[in-house]
Structure 1
Amino acid sequence: MERPRFQGHHLRAAAGQRPYRITRVQPGRSLLFERVKDYWGKDLPVNRGFNNFNKVAVEFYRDSDVAFEAFKAGEFDIYIEHQAKNWANGYNFPAVNRGDIIKAQVAHQIPTQTQGLFMNSRRAIFAERKVREALGLMFDFEWTNRTLFSGAYKRATSYYPNSEFSATGLPVGHEWLLLSPYREQLPASLFTQPFSLPQTDGRGIPRATLRRALGLLAEAGWKLNGQRLLDSNGQPLRFELLLVNPNLERILQPYVENLASIGIDARLRTVDRAQYKQRLDQFDFDMILMTLNQTLSPGLEQWQYFHSSQVGVKGSKNYAGIDNPIVDHLLEHLLAAQSRDEQLAAGRALDRVLLWQHYIIPNWYLNYHRLAYRNRFAFVTTPPYQLGLSAWWLKSLEKAQ
């Protein structure tokens, strides 16, 4: 896409050979794209059915509530919804009820980002895998999804949600061959049962799960003494969950309360962006809610996320402090893969090892677009790996043809 660039005190659209050119810029407010009539590639087979609009206007809003009200008032035509609560409750207005606005959930196969509560294993309290596993047992996704998200999300059970790189079932074939030399170092269950996360009925954590969490903590040296978990030196199990977005407090406060029910003193702390970035760069945190971008073909960025060489590099993205020779070995295989099958096997093996080490508490994801649009558009289908708005057309043009 052409991008405006600065020239003196003015914005000038850069020249390009794309199907659209920018013809009007209102900085901070809008862009207008107009179709290039003599675009050189318009008759190529790969472009047939695309770029059907003569003009496309992009409006910018600094506030999502203002943007939504503008959409309801007819100020623009297509709105991509990012808030589960608004998707569930915000579309009962006349234009939707009349059918003038279509509300659609459009399935896709786009790999979603890794999202979870990252535990900084550089800190002594998170160095033990059993502690990390126990903390994961206390996150009630089903309650969170039912109560706060109107049931919109799916629980992530992979570092590569909605992707063929997700480790499922048991390791077989090339993946098994990559993992089998490390049988003694890996949990025995990794080879005998699929990885899974505890589920609830959405109304609280079952007693059996609480007992399991306390059992894991006891094995790691934490004993329940009255209302607190203490180590052998009488020190309480205490940590801070560092946030930068205050809207996350209502989502994570129930998790803090769940931890308190078994004697863990966890506290939320929200800081400004500058302080948050500084603390991330210095790994000055206990736990954070973090996302890592993922693609159709995981590559060198995985090294930055998970390789031991990044543990001490200030500003690196190895937020969990993963220092694991098996992970390093699998990353080398992933980057050295000579075929898609080899890449898939290495990626799935890496995913499986990371999951069984419980470095993060996986969160949630969507495998569809939440889209609202005016009932004057038509489209045949949506490509699996993008929304594909450039393949839409106006119904009036369809009838005219």
Structure 2
Amino acid sequence: MTPPPRLVLALSLALACAGPARAAGSPGQISHAIAMQGKPALPPDFACLPYADPHARKGGILHLGELGTFANLNPYGVNAGDAAAGLAGPVYESLMARSFDEPFTLYGLVAQSIETDDARDYVVFRLDPKAHFSDGVPITARDVLFSFNLLKAKGRPQQRAAYGLVHSIQALDDHTVRYDLAGADDRELPLILALMPVLPAHVMTEKRFTDQGLAIPVGSGPYKVAEVRPGERLDLRRDPNYWGRDLPINCGLYNFDEVVFDYGRDDNSLFEAFKAGLIDYRQETDPHRWASGYGFPARRDGRVAVESLPLGGPKGLSGFAFNTRRALFKDPRLREALAMMFDFEWLNANLFSNLYTRDKSFFDESELSASGSPASAAERKLLAPYPGAVRADIMNGSWSPPRSDGSGRDRELAKKALALAHQAGWTLQDGRLTRNGQQLNFEILVRDREQERLALYYSDLLRRIGVEARVRLVDDAQFEGRRQRFDFDMMIGLWQASASPGNEQRMRWGGDSASEESSYNLAGAKSPAIDAMIAALLAARGREDFVTAARALDRVLLSGFYVVPLYHSHAQWIAYWRRIAHPKALPHYAQPLFGDVLETWSLAPGAAAARH
């Protein structure tokens, strides 16, 4: 197949405009790796990632359980939420790969080296001449240009936004690609481009990309898709001709010959399948089950192991997101009032065995968090052009989510919530919170039973101050469709944090993303102060400036009360059959600790390669 004419034209123009590899007057440096801040931790001759076992056993079959279903095999399109697990990385590879032992550092994969200047006004990738797709076709600069143009036009919103900052892209030869980034003022952009998947220009078309469906993909990774049962099962098998098996970045990774994902609509059924030995590994998310549900025979006799593994890095934030595109939620005082009614202390003690900690920052428990500390002089200077963007108690570090008396019926918090609602124009009359004769009512959209239970709990609490919050449970397809169209009043969101936040903040909070369908700006945030703090984050050259910008952004977001903060765990709860094992060393910055196909895991010593 040939690429669509529009993409061929873009490729031809880029080739015709090819220029010098270095920016005029600004010599660059060729390296095996690139770090967002500072220098890469591993030298050019490194042998293995610190958390991978170079002596891990190869072989065997890994059976995994996945909640929900899937409708396509394209993890990079606008419908990526419906894509099967295990495709990005194991099947589709990027130019460079991340080490999760560092905040944000990339090492060579399809690209064996990277070149950029101090200003990061350009970036050059030199491809490994050994790299090829699973059908044997070599990977060339043509594939990189094709992938860039395709993802820029048809990819996810965050990709389109980031790639739109590129001034031009040029193929200098069959294995060298140069991006001109002049004017982008975004020091993260070379790393974002390095994480771009390389798609096969000889197979992929724009139509196939947008309507991938369940067609078997052609990638360049260590696994190939071997079998698909629509919505039920995905089977990945090792590619015996994988070109990159001896690269240092892959040392000790992708150890199983086969990885099978079995999908289940209900988490209880997946848990029963795990207990029966049909699934090898489980990440537990239910604290009640974790505290009391693992006393089954295989656990008692030692065939199943359970571990509570520490999570490093910022903890991020989850919560009920207000859709501020709705006129109902325009006033932050009302949003704060509604958030005040969530009784975390009762919930944690009575349902969660006190295993959770309340979220209080978008970069919680890290140096990037503004929680509990007053703004520095540098933060105040950064925020000065936006008076009123940060509340006084958040500026001085004294704010935290309200703490209840744990009774589930805290009268004082209810009084404070009603007082705030009154300031926003709402009045309690006959047990109903009203304005202009209309009761405050809205819908909470949820996608599974766990979210439904939490939303029903919150709805009951809101009813105490006269608010009618209906809970609507829909299937995955409806949920994703309504999320992408912003067709909801409130929904639960998760804003995972990395040790190096960057371009993803634009898609979560940037003003342009508020109206861009399929973006992750669930709240519809649109604020010049937010945009400015994100810009400062991306332009920061040193760690001190980076931390300053992150904390300032945190303060602006907290002041907006866009989310009812929920909670997090300090550890990742896992259970697994002892036929598989993980290395002793854990990555410092991965959340979750292990990828979709448990890249660092392998058969345990002495374990049979197949189940009996």
1:285 aligns with 2:373: no
1:359 aligns with 2:562: yes
1:227 deviation in Å? 0.8
1:155-234 matches, within 5 Å, as: 155-161=358-364, 163-168=366-371, 169-231=373-435, 233-234=436-437
Aligned to 2:545: 342
Which runs of no fewer than 5 residues in structure 1 stay unpaired?
none
Aligned to 1:302: 505
Residues 164-187 of structure 1: CA deviation (Å, up to 9, x unaligned): 432222212422332244445532
Overall identity of the aligned pairs, in %? 34
Question: Secondary structure of 1:213's match?
Answer: helix
Deviation larger for 354-363 or 175-184: 175-184
Deviation larger for 275-284 or 212-221: 275-284
- Which structure has the highest helix share of the two? 1
1:118 deviation in Å? 1.1
* CA–CA distance in structure 2, aligned partners of residues 24 and 327 of structure 1: 45
1:65 deviation in Å? 3.8
Aligned to 1:58: 259
1:71 deviation in Å? 3.2
Contact 1:23 1:34 survives alignment (8 Å): no
Matched AA of 1:90: G
Contact 2:432 2:466 survives alignment (8 Å): yes
Selected match of 2:282 from 65, 79, 87: 79
* CA–CA distance in structure 1, aligned partners of residues 242 and 318 of structure 2: 43
Contact 1:113 1:292 survives alignment (8 Å): yes
* CA–CA distance in structure 2, aligned partners of residues 393 and 59 of structure 1: 14
Q: Number of aligned residue pairs: give it.
A: 389
Question: Secondary structure of 2:262's match?
Answer: coil
Selected match of 1:259 from 440, 456, 462: 462
Aligned to 1:91: 294
TM-score between both structures, scaled by the size of structure 2: 0.56
Contact 2:223 2:236 survives alignment (8 Å): no
Contact 2:315 2:496 survives alignment (8 Å): yes
* CA–CA distance in structure 2, aligned partners of residues 74 and 367 of structure 1: 28
Question: Secondary structure of 2:472's match?
Answer: strand
Contact 2:307 2:575 survives alignment (8 Å): yes
1:112-127 matches, within 5 Å, as: 112=315, 114-127=317-330
Contact 2:394 2:558 survives alignment (8 Å): no
Residues 246-288 of structure 1: CA deviation (Å, up to 9, x unaligned): 4422211121111111112222223344544444344333222
1:103 aligns with 2:306: yes
Selected match of 1:41 from 242, 246, 256: 246
* CA–CA distance in structure 1, aligned partners of residues 421 and 218 of structure 2: 60
Aligned to 2:337: 134
Contact 2:389 2:556 survives alignment (8 Å): no
1:39 deviation in Å? 7.3
Aligned to 2:11: none
1:390 deviation in Å? 5.2
After superposition, the Cα gap between the structure-2 partners of 1:32 and 1:334, relative to the gap in structure 1 and judged at 3 Å, is same
Question: Secondary structure of 2:438's match?
Answer: coil
Deviation larger for 83-92 or 253-262: 83-92
1:332 deviation in Å? 1.8
* CA–CA distance in structure 2, aligned partners of residues 205 and 216 of structure 1: 18
Please give the root-mean-square deviation of Cα atoms over the aligned residues, in Å: 3.5
* CA–CA distance in structure 2, aligned partners of residues 315 and 193 of structure 1: 34
* CA–CA distance in structure 1, aligned partners of residues 478 and 244 of structure 2: 48
Matched AA of 1:91: Y
Question: Secondary structure of 2:515's match?
Answer: coil
Contact 1:195 1:352 survives alignment (8 Å): no
Selected match of 1:318 from 493, 518, 521: 521
Contact 1:229 1:236 survives alignment (8 Å): yes
1:196 deviation in Å? 0.3
* CA–CA distance in structure 1, aligned partners of residues 245 and 468 of structure 2: 64
Contact 2:444 2:489 survives alignment (8 Å): yes
Aligned to 1:371: 574
* CA–CA distance in structure 1, aligned partners of residues 472 and 285 of structure 2: 24
Contact 1:330 1:346 survives alignment (8 Å): yes
After superposition, the Cα gap between the structure-2 partners of 1:128 and 1:379, relative to the gap in structure 1 and judged at 3 Å, is same
Deviation larger for 144-153 or 196-205: 144-153
After superposition, the Cα gap between the structure-2 partners of 1:210 and 1:282, relative to the gap in structure 1 and judged at 3 Å, is same
Deviation larger for 335-344 or 108-117: 108-117
Matched AA of 1:145: N
Aligned to 1:31: 236
* CA–CA distance in structure 1, aligned partners of residues 542 and 491 of structure 2: 35
* CA–CA distance in structure 2, aligned partners of residues 118 and 128 of structure 1: 14
Contact 1:112 1:160 survives alignment (8 Å): yes
Aligned to 1:3: 91
Residues 81-125 of structure 1: CA deviation (Å, up to 9, x unaligned): 233333222210122223332211000215455421111222232
1:243 aligns with 2:331: no
* CA–CA distance in structure 2, aligned partners of residues 30 and 196 of structure 1: 46
After superposition, the Cα gap between the structure-2 partners of 1:312 and 1:385, relative to the gap in structure 1 and judged at 3 Å, is closer
